[in-house]
Amino acid sequence: MLKPVMVVHGGAGNWHPERVNPGLEGVKKAAKLGFDILLHGGSALDAVVEAVASMEDDGSFNAGYGSSLTIEKGIEMEASVMDGKTLKAGAVGLLKDIKNPVKLARIVMEETDHIFVVGEGAEKLAKMFNFERRNPITELRLKYYEQQKQTLIDGKFGLPKLANLIKTHPELFDLETVGAVALDKDGNVAAATSTGGFPLKLPGRIGDSPLIGCGTYADNRSGACSATGVGEIAIRLVLAKTVCNYMEHGKSAQEAVENAIKLVNERTAGTYNSMGLIAVNSRGEIGAAHNSAHLCWAYITPELQEPVASMTAKILK
Ligand code: ASP
């Protein structure tokens, strides 16, 4: 029997000072919820889904309620989950009003023959399984949207590309995707990730969060990983799977996430530093690293009474 371990993140980026406390409270709550499930004999899969669902409901994160808006002021949420015992995975994208995208990702995994279902099809599936709906747009996201859009418009004269805009105004692009990884007492690992996607993204854009291997990966042979940051970078480097490969080849969970962030720095030098990673290996050792200013995250193990939460982990620039 192994000791259960729960690690969650609430996103990398530059967190506004007024959002730090709600963020830390939100990740602590999610870590505790997932850990209680593990302590009561629940699986790593149950724990990561419930922990992510709690952050989707929180309103402090860019996932579920509180998701970022697309350039057209729309909502396109996405999520994924992976079970390290079976290598089964489920993912959803282009969701407008599903209350808990991560739970729909689990439905795709367990109730269909597929892995990734988006848009109308995902909506139909949600209807079949009586999923709760909720308007995910919050006042705060609308305010951020207006600020971001205005900066983009002003940028006509000096900031023609969104990438430049992000580099020049990182404070407007808090990422705040959520994710969780866990190890249960039976030695099974799981990972889940959920997001509203990058602020001002083009409609139809899919990021790393629902892509198995990019934003989420879990395999009992190595461990589990959830990523946050500019999705296009995680996709190019197949980042979550890369972290698991490092663990499979003998790196500790901490070495694995650090090596992956170093890889990001080496291969994408000059791009906006935004990446954050959390991981757990199949022995229950944890890892967290980022090249962004902040990574909102929390973890809990049986030795701890309460989750430990922080706005930073190992920073590698
Ligand atoms: N990875 C997400 C995306 O690109 C953003 C984030 O991590 O906040 O959609």
Q: What's the pLDDT score for residue 100?
A: 98
Q: Judge if the beta carbon of residue 66 lies within 6 A of ligand 1.
A: no
CA of 208 to the centre of ligand 1 (A): 7
What would the mean pLDDT of 25-32 be, rounded to a whole number?
A: 98
Q: Judge if the beta carbon of residue 230 lies within 6 A of ligand 1.
A: yes
* Residues sharing a CB contact under 8 Å with residue 242, sequence separation 6 or more, in sequence order: 260, 263
Question: What is the CATH code for 5-315?
Answer: 3.60.20.30
Is the confidence at residue 158, as pLDDT, over 60? no
- Place 1 in a pLDDT band, splitting at 50, 70 and 90: confident
What would the mean pLDDT of 65-74 be, rounded to a whole number?
A: 93
- Place 123 in a pLDDT band, splitting at 50, 70 and 90: very high
What would the mean pLDDT of 131-148 be, rounded to a whole number?
A: 93
Q: What's the pLDDT score for residue 4?
A: 97
Looking at the whole model, is its pTM more than 0.85?
Answer: yes
Q: What's the pLDDT score for residue 156?
A: 52
Residue ranges in the chain assigned as alpha helix (H): 17-39, 44-58, 101-111, 119-128, 139-154, 162-168, 231-236, 239-248, 253-267
Is 177 a catalytic site residue?
Answer: yes
276 or 1: which leads in pLDDT: 276
- Place 48 in a pLDDT band, splitting at 50, 70 and 90: very high
Domain-wise residue ranges, the chain:
5-315
Asked if residues 56 and 80 have their Cβ atoms less than 8 Å apart, the reply is no
Q: Judge if the beta carbon of residue 231 lies within 6 A of ligand 1.
A: yes
Tell me what percent of the residues of the chain surpass a pLDDT of 90.
81
For the segment 170-209, what is each residue's pLDDT rounded down to a tens digit?
766 767 899 999 999 999 999 999 999 988 888 999 999 9
Is the confidence at residue 91, as pLDDT, over 70? yes
Q: Judge if the beta carbon of residue 209 lies within 6 A of ligand 1.
A: yes
Q: What's the pLDDT score for residue 259?
A: 98
- Place 155 in a pLDDT band, splitting at 50, 70 and 90: low
Q: What's the pLDDT score for residue 159?
A: 44
Q: What's the pLDDT score for residue 71?
A: 87
Q: What's the pLDDT score for residue 267?
A: 92
Least confident span in 45-54, 91-100, 272-281: 272-281
Q: Which of 229, 217, 221, 187 is nearest to 279 (CA)?
A: 217
Q: CB-side exposure of 90: number of CA atoms within 13 Å?
A: 18
- Atom from ligand 1 closest to the CA of residue 231: 4
**Which of 177, 195, 228, 242 is flagged as catalytic?**
177
For the segment 225-277, what is each residue's pLDDT rounded down to a tens digit?
999 998 999 999 999 999 999 999 999 999 999 999 999 999 987 667 889 99
Phi/psi of residue 15, nearest 5 degrees: -75, 130
Distance in angstroms (rounded) separating the CA atoms of residues 220 and 177: 24
Least confident span in 33-42, 165-174, 177-186: 165-174
